[in-house]
Structure 1
Amino acid sequence: MATDATTAAQQFYGRWADFYDLLARATPGLGRLRARAADALALDPGDTVVEMGCGTGANFPHLRERVGPEGRVVGVDFTQGMLARARDRIEREGWRNVHCVRADATDVEFREAPDAVLATFVVGMLADPEAAVNRWADLLAPGGRLALLDAAQTPRWFGWPVNRAFRGLVVASSPSGVEAYEAAPWTVLDERVAAARRALRERADETTHTEHALGVVRITGGRIG
């Protein structure tokens, strides 16, 4: 049963799906970051990869390129508006091995264990990102890989002006607004992103980590034994 927060998020992201799709395609450098996140999964041709919170499908080209026509890409999202645009993308490109599922990324089940899971700008929106990461790790086939691409405030010495701009973006992209958070939403985001990465490092046999965009964007990948 959907909570008020879940319903609000679905409505918000459904309403802004076209704008999010435009940002995903037009933001300079974002395509390279998505490609790096796909690389962190170390995918092989024929693999099955699941994207949690796939949105409008901006990662699909990068994932499909790596698994090839014999592999499978499955996108999971709970917002109908986002999925409609993702399915339009699939149909437009003629991808027969890319599929979308409307489901809660923290509660989805699969008949077969995937080889890899990707979550892009997702864990910061989850109330319990640590539990989500552990659940995704449990879904994977032995030796599968999990990668997280997220943004949070930069800890670098020049961070003040960068973080001020980032905070404005966080508020603008929040479905609930500032008043819904007990702490500043950018602080909540920082804590959730950090918690997700801790959980991944604890579960993984080996991890990789890179930082981009002045330290705001982080990509962490790990192999789950």
Structure 2
Amino acid sequence: MSRDATAAAQQFYGRWADFYDFLARSTPGLGDLRARAADALALDPGDTVVEMGCGTGANFPHLRERVGPTGRVVGVDFTQGMLGRARDRIEREDWRNVHCVRADATEIEFREAPDAILATFVVGMLADPAAEVERWADRLAPGGRLALLDAAQTTRWFGWPVNRAFRGLVVASSPSGTEAYDAPPWTVLDDRVAAARRALRARADETTHSEHALGVVRITGGRVARRGRSARRVQFG
């Protein structure tokens, strides 16, 4: 994102943080999708998992349950309002092994390579999602896993009415509406979600994929193949 676009997104999501938190807690079936995304990471007790775009922390219970008390969950988000709700959740639950970092998911580096990375409704916001998937994959520990939870227009035969409703949701949830895009924002979203998954499949030794909510929600996970170069790492949190 450009600096102006980043600032607009931070202001937008910060303003609607309470509403997003309400939707995360109350939308029927969403908890099950978050659990499935956590399952796609195949986490073990003691693992370290980083969530890119953690928002208000709705995924934290699912991730923490899988890494156990000896593991670590790190949430990354660039919106202070969202992180405020996430930190409230951590304090309320007294989670000693869950932490939040305010940072851009396209720039953050790690001193210690995490065992897994989860990106939830993030790649559709990135100008070059395939490049970011590659960058995240490079920063995983050997044998690490990457999972993507996203929404895009359904490709199923009954898709027309579903996609009409989905397009309205995309516009309503976009910080800049339709003004910042050369194409309809739902088309841009479709292309970015598809590009991220192609990059993950190309990079992974093995992948799993499932579709939910009439084909709108997609969960893709993979065990990432290592490359020869190692990523530069600095401390987070």
TM-score normalised according to structure 1 size: 0.99
Structure 1 partner of 2:105: 105
The Cα of 1:179 is off from its aligned counterpart by 1.4
* Offset from partner CA, 1:111-144 (integer Å, 9 cap, x none): 1000000001110011110111011101100100
Aligned to 1:46: 46
State the distance in 1 between where 2:171 and 2:79 align.
20
Residue 27 of structure 2 corresponds to which residue in structure 1? 27
One-letter amino acid of the counterpart of residue 49, structure 1: V
Deviation at 1:2, TM superposition (A): 6.5
Gaps of 5+ in 2: 226-237
Distance 2:40 2:180 in 1: 34
The secondary structure found in structure 2 opposite 1:28 is: coil
- Measured after TM superposition, the shift of residue 73 of structure 1 is 0.1
What are the equivalent positions in structure 2 for 1:106-121 lying under 5 Å apart? 106-121=106-121
Give matches, 1:198-209, under 5 Å.
198-209=198-209
Shift of 1:180: 1.3
Q: Matched residues in 2 for 1:130 and 1:219: separation?
A: 16
SS of corresponding position for 1:50 = strand
Indicate the residue corresponding to 1:148 in structure 2: 148
Partner of 1:132: 132
> What is the SS of the residue equivalent to 1:180?
coil
Residue of structure 2 equivalent to 1:172? 172
Distance 2:153 2:19 in 1: 23
Aligned to 2:214: 214
Say yes or no: does 1:17 pair with 2:17: yes
State the aligned residue count: 225
Which residue number in structure 2 is paired with residue 191 of structure 1?
Answer: 191
Q: Which residue of 2 aligns with 1:65?
A: 65
Percent identity reads 89
1:27-82: CA deviations, max 9, x gaps?
00000000000000000000000000000000000000000010000000000000
Runs of 5+ consecutive residues of structure 1 not aligned to the other structure: none
What is the distance in 2 between the residues matched to 1:65 and 1:166? Answer: 31
Deviations 1:158-210 (A, max 9, x none): 00000000000000000011111100000000000000000000110000000
Distance 1:114 1:185, change over 3 A: same
Cα distance in 2, alignment partners of residues 81 and 13 from structure 1: 7
